[in-house]
Amino acid sequence: MIRQFELVERVKSYDPDADEDLLNRAYVYSMKAHGSQKRASGDPYFSHPVEVAYMLTEFKLDTASIATALLHDTVEDTEATLEDIEKYFGKEIASLVDGVTKLTRIETKSENAKQAENFRKLLVAMSEDLRVLMVKLADRLHNMRTLKYIKEPQKRQRIARETLDIYATLAERIGVRKIKEELQDLAFAELYPEARESIMKRLDYLREQDKAIVEKTEKHLIKTLQETGIENATVVGREKRPYSIWKKMETKNVSFEQLSDIIAFRILTETVPQCYQVLGAIHSAYHTIPGHFKDYISTPKNNGYKSLHTAVIGPGQHRIEVQIRTKEMHDIAEYGVAAHWSYKQRRDYNKDGKQYRWIRELLEILEKSSNPEEFLEHTKLEMYHDQVFCFTPKGDIIALPRGATPVDFAYAVHSGVGDSCVGAKINGRIVPLRTQLKNGDQVDIITSKAQTPSPTWERFVVTGKARSEIRKFIRTQQRNEYINLGKAILNKTFKQEGEELTDKMLESIAEKFNKKTPDDIYAEVGEGLINRIAVFEMLFPDRKLASIQDKKGSLLSRLRKKQTAFSTAMPIKGLIPGMAIHFGKCCHPIPGDKIVGIVTTGKGITIHTTSCETLENFAETPERWIDVAWDTSTGIQHVARIKITVLHETGGLATVTNVIAKELGNITNLKILSRSSDFFELLIDMEVKDIRHLNAIIASLRGKGSVQSVERYYG
């Protein structure tokens, strides 16, 4: 275990002005507080905070951070209180300890929800001061080093998964490569031991084949640089870590032998111009591997990482990766935010620079998410992707995950831009909003004050920020729709019984439904989660709803006898924007069909034809039925399904597709139900304008000799 004077001397070695008295007091206080507590390994518990503190000295953190590391478990695991910490060590350290303290046990429904809530709290704490995250990462690293002492395999797996998913990624986001790589490898060994063992054997074999490969390549690179007049560059070779190799094999779907960067070499220079001079020398001397050059100096990563990356066929015909950077860039690549503190003379770097915009964006997602688990889902989307770099018309760089679309770009610029986005230009050309962006694209977002987020955007956006904003809007609009629907249902019910419903009446029974406001009750009635009968009988316990008796069994038959369009129908387009609408796959309604809407719990409104057999299931819940009609002014295409039997002959299928195309139908899906030597039986889904359009296509198909039969299909 690290002794007191060793820790103090270590801090003084890089910070002569460190508060020695503070460090000594924190060491002694923590040792006494933890007393005889033991870890799972059998070691004194106090050894853990000391090791965490010593780890942080490698990153040259300030005295307050080291003291926080020594004290970080005292409030949670001993009799010490936060007030005690503030009394003996001051407000700054008390605030840091409060942020990094092990989070209190949260009573939640699932382990995922607990993890999500813990992460939410960590995010809030680290947004106040990034030193909290540095201490937390060191704490997790030491716990991972001693993970083998935990006896329960499931607990070890959970901790390893959380480490890989959250803490290693956070370490990468603040640029601390040393912690990130060790966390990844320790978690990798626990989660995928066989895969790691396989990669380790391959690395051993590679070393056996040429034990001096790294040394030989280093000498060859130095000689190449000297021949081009570059004398003061440093060359260092290293093997890629097992987890990084496995991840690249998995994501790129390549074999171990196909990787170009199993062995990587770093070339360190004094200045940025020298970096490009070295790059020219390397490309002149060796064959480059296409598609492997990346310039992170002109376009740094979000965490501040800068370097030139290239891959070449090096000495001995080995595929190698070469990273070229200045010594300052190298320190930042290794130590991340800690190096920034050093280079910035320890001024507050917490909110300095674009690379920490992601923290603010995660806080915005936190505000928009409806629950901790949804927040964790959106956060993973925000954190776990490779990036593409795009430009605004003014030349500002926006970093986005691969697969991002103009909608993601719009929300990255500003939430208001995303909400009002109606179109986009990429490199001057108007493109669909679902178009995937590429490196270097210039994106110009077209906005309109009349626009609102479309629920369909959620299907193709990839950033957590965009998805959380869209979901928030949809939730708000759906709730308003459900409130209005619930009010209509309850007011109609009470009116039929000769009563008038007021909000005060609902306030009196809100608690019995575990609700806070009348709107909460209206919303759940509208969504179908609370029955209107239950509300009435809760207010009038001695009465039964008389009007419900003549509803059962008769509503369905009356509806099907209607021969005219609904006179008081609500056009589908007229629903509040964001209200989820689905078309029944049981009947595939299209304009021209008589339709009805059914409120479906958790899904919004499902549109069915009035002849759909599925409606029998809702005969006893008339409150869920809504009169709707088509708004034919929209010009939207709808999917209809036909069943067709075609002669098994050359050109038979071509005849069918040509007829549909000439009639301006668009086939979206085709399925062969059966085939014989004489016939094919097909199901075809196609987009049509309305029932007339569909009937025209069916008529044209029936006129072809190769088509034996065709009919609309409702299955």
Which H helix or E strand runs over 506?
helix 503-509
- What single-letter amino acid sits at 172? E
The C-alpha atoms of residue 483 and residue 523 are separated, in whole angstroms, by 4
Q: Residue 76 catalytic?
A: yes
Under DSSP, the state recorded for 573 is G
Question: Which string of DSSP letters, residue by residue, matches 326-374?
Answer: EHHHHHHHHHTHHHHHHHTTT---TT-SGGGHHHHHHHHHHHH-SSHHH
How far is residue 551 from each of residues 46, 557, 620, 623, measured CA to CA in Å?
72, 11, 8, 10
**CB of 532 within 8 A of CB of 490?**
yes
SS3 annotation, 66-109: HHHHHHCCHHHHCCCCHHHHHHHHCHHHHHHHHHHCCCCCCCCC
User: How far, in Å, CA of 593 to CA of 589, rounded?
Assistant: 6
Interatomic CA distance for residues 411 and 319, integer angstroms? 40
Q: Which of 19, 20, 58, 77 is catalytic?
A: 77
Cα angle: 184, vertex 186, 190; to 5 degrees: 110
Q: Are 307 and 325 in contact (CB under 8 A)?
A: yes
Residue 88: HSE in the Cβ half-sphere, 13 Å Cα cutoff: 19
Residue bearing tokens 């593409």:
388
CB 469 within 8 A of CB 412: no
Backbone angles phi, psi at 47, to 5 degrees: -60, -30
Q: Which of 37, 38, 35, 6 is nearest to 23 (CA)?
A: 6
Helix (H, G, I), strand (E, B) or coil at 126: helix
Residues 97/136, Cβ–Cβ less than 8 Å? no
d(CA 545, CA 581): 31
State phi, psi for 711 to the nearest 5 degrees.
-155, 155
List, in order, residues 6 or more apart from 76 with CB less than 8 Å away: 101, 102, 104
Catalytically annotated residue among 76, 239, 681, 687 = 76
Alpha-helical runs (H) found in 35-62: 47-57
Find where tokens 């924190």 sit: 26
Which residue shows structure tokens 């790691």?
A: 196
Q: How many residues does the chain have?
A: 715
Task: Specify the DSSP class assigned to residue 533.
Answer: H
Residue whose structure tokens are 């040259």: 60
Q: Strand, helix or coil at 397?
A: strand
Pairing assessment for the beta strands 319-326 and 263-269 based on DSSP bridges? parallel
77 is an active site residue: yes
What are phi and psi for residue 600, nearest 5 degrees? -110, 125
Using CA atoms of 380, 385, 389, 392 in order, give the dihedral in degrees to the nearest 10.
-30
Beta bridge partners of 312: 288, 320
Q: Which two tokens stand for residue 155?
A: 């607990």
Give residues with Cβ within 8 angstroms of 101, minimum separation 6: 72, 73, 75, 76
Residues 471, 479: contact at Cβ < 8 Å?
no
**Per DSSP, what are the bridge partners of residue 389?**
399
* 535-540-544-546 Cα dihedral, nearest 10 degrees: -90
Tell me the C-alpha distance between 633 and 693, whole Å: 15
Catalytic residues: 76-77
